[in-house]
Amino acid sequence: MALDNDQIKAVEAASGHSVFGSSSLPRIIDCPASVGEELKAGLKPTSIFAAKGTELHAWTEKALPQADPYAYIHKQDIDIEDMTYILDAIAYVQKIFELHPSDAVMELELGGSLASYGLPEVYGTMDVVIRSRYRTDVIDHKFGHGVAVYAKENYQLVSYLGMAVPFEAVPPSDHELYVHINQPPLNIYDEWRVDWDVMYQMILGDVTDAIAQARSDNPPFGPTVKACKFCNANMGCAPRHKALQKQAALVQEMARNPSVVPNEKWAAFLEAAESLKSAIPQVEKYAVSEIQSGNPFPGFKLIAGRANRKFVDEEAGQKFMAARLGRKAYKPQEYITLAQAEKLDKDLKKNDDWNNLIHKPQGKPKLVKESAKGTALVYGTAGIMDQIAKGEL
């Protein structure tokens, strides 16, 4: 069934965001049918994580125009961890700004749309746009701890770039385009240089086609971990349930005799496991909400979990404990992290005494997809030869 334009306008008016907005494009590209499904599901409540991200975005936006953004942030009453993330975000923006000539212009929280590409329904707000004669940079702040985000082939970023750089039949050959992810909590500062023809293909081809499919009478479903994770209709989505059932059957099949399963099939299993892991907490949350609404959930019930005792009056209780126990009433003071210390003192990284105290051990091996960022660790004979070459053996 084709989308109802009146319903789209009502949802956009209530939420303040485009149904086809930049942040929704990665989901729409994978699953055009999700647009209609989300409209039927209704508005999704704002999470505490989204609220925290909005708060850190706001502080970063306030600080960047200041004569000394670092001094401005240090004067604010902000949690030390949040402060370091804000300072990191500011530092990255300044680093990119310095790549431009002195007459460059920086614009913050800039609204735009893809109207010049024939897609006025795709609109949104860009965190940072830096322009000069020979290049344009679009930077998107991400303050989430959970999902790592990268710049390459990122439809949200490319749509922002299209808003910053309107369509030209003959684009200038001497103007470079860049998009950036600025994600301090995960230490991700990722850049992708975008060719004009690649941007045009992604917007005029992929995005345009996906929106046309979403508006069609029978839009295709494409349940994936990425598409379903933030889809407001994921719990009631029949194609997703069918895909999860198929993946669960694969897990059961492989568990029967894992020793004879080839690695190629294990790769398919890992794909299924990723989808199932993502679905499990969502199903558990759904079950809790159903039972709390008075609906039966066969085989399950809610019980009261464990809870720590609390003072009736927190201030009075702490005073009594301090009077009774003295210094024993307090925990030992914790040191801030190395990264936080370097954000609070900008000259610390240049201090030889400080640097001589620090080393960076290699982290534990982490299993990721082959397309993910990072150099692959080498094992076996090749791994030993690699260690010898590096002087580690």
Closest CA to 343 of 185, 130, 107: 185
Q: What is the pLDDT of residue 5?
A: 85
> Residue 296: CA atoms inside 13 Å, Cβ hemisphere, count?
2
d(CA 232, CA 315): 41
- Read off the amino acid at residue 274: E
- If you average pLDDT over every residue of the chain, what do you get? 88
Region of residue 42 (phi > 0: left; psi between -120 and 50: alpha; otherwise: beta): left
Give the integer Cα–Cα distance in Å for 393 and 386. 9
Residue that wins the pLDDT comparison between 259 and 5: 5
User: Mean per-residue pLDDT for 310-334?
Assistant: 92
Q: What is the structure's pLDDT at 381?
A: 61
Q: What confidence tens digit (pLDDT) does each residue in 222-234 have?
A: 988 888 887 888 8
Q: Is the per-residue pLDDT at 379 higher than 80?
A: no
Percent residues over pLDDT 90 in the chain: 52
Looking at residue 384, its amino acid is: I
> How far apart, in whole angstroms, are the C-alpha atoms of residue 179 and residue 129?
9
Instruction: Tally Cβ neighbours within 10 Å of residue 299.
Output: 6
Q: Which residues contact 177 (CB under 8 A, 6 or more apart)?
A: 135, 136, 161, 165, 193, 194, 195, 196, 199
CA distance readout (Å), 205 to 132, 192, 200, 217, 347: 28, 19, 7, 20, 48
User: Are 59 and 52 spatial neighbours (Cβ–Cβ below 8 Å)?
Assistant: no
Sign of CA dihedral 179, 53, 227, 45: negative
Q: Which of 60-69, 86-95, 174-183, 258-267 has the lowest mean pLDDT?
A: 258-267
Residues 6+ apart with CB under 8 A from 67: none
pTM for this model (two decimals) = 0.76
Which pLDDT belongs to residue 106?
97
Would you tell me how many other CB atoms lie within 10 Å of the CB of residue 84?
A: 22
Higher pLDDT, 76 or 225: 76
Check residue 267 and give its pLDDT: 78
Which sequence spans correspond to the domains of the chain?
A: 5-214, 237-292
Residue with tokens 């599901």: 41
pLDDT at 47 over 80: no
Residue 128 has pLDDT above 80, yes or no: yes
- Percent of the chain past pLDDT 70, that is, above it, reads 95
The architecture CATH gives domain 5-214: Alpha-Beta Complex (3.90)
Residue 388 has pLDDT above 60, yes or no: no
DSSP structural state of residue 137 = E
122 contacts 114 by C-beta, under 8 angstroms:
yes
Residue 267, CB half-sphere, CA atoms under 13 Å: how many?
6
Q: Note the pLDDT of residue 226.
A: 81
Q: Residue 382: what pLDDT?
A: 59
